[in-house]
Amino acid sequence: MQMLFQGDIGKQTPEQVQHSFWDARSDADLDPDTRGFAEDIFRVASVREAEIDSLIEQHSANWRLTRMPAVDRNVLRAAVAEMLGFPATPAPIIINESLEVARRYSAPESINFLNGVLDAIAKSRVKSS
């Protein structure tokens, strides 16, 4: 989510984000698997950005992405990227983990909104399968 946020707010390309994000972190002891997973989510979100944004807008009743708080927008993007890129991971787990991130970085009133949008996307993906 932080990489997506950096690219979104900083108007950076995915390549710029990948180049600068890890250099700016003090997590020198970050587990390589965790870093790899974060990079995979970021890659899927970047490559499938139009599809992800369309899904979010379709399921976020009367909310355009540009009107959403940046943290919420990027929590949604990361979660949907995980749903699309890692279909073996159950949607409830993805949603729960995303809400934990939101509890840390977003406003308390965003949690219900994010949960509703992600649940609607997950249900629509089950119906289309």
Domain ranges of the chain: 2-128
Supply the pLDDT for residue 26.
Answer: 64
| Segment 14-57, tens digit of pLDDT | 989 988 888 766 666 678 898 899 999 999 999 999 999 999 99
Four-CA torsion 83, 48, 50, 56, nearest 10 degrees = 10
Q: How far apart are CA 75 and CA 100, in angstroms?
A: 10
Neighbouring C-alpha atoms within 13 Å toward the C-beta of 114: 31
Q: How far apart are CA 62 and CA 21, in angstroms?
A: 33
Supply the pLDDT for residue 19.
Answer: 84
* Full-model pTM: 0.91
Mean pLDDT of the chain: 92
Backbone φ, ψ for residue 71 (5° rounding)? -65, -45
**Domain 2-128 homologous superfamily, CATH:** NusB-like (1.10.940.10)
Q: How far apart are CA 53 and CA 81, in angstroms?
A: 10
Tell me how far the alpha carbon of residue 91 is from its chain's centroid.
13
Q: Which residue has the tokens 């089950």?
A: 126
Tokens of 86: 């890692």
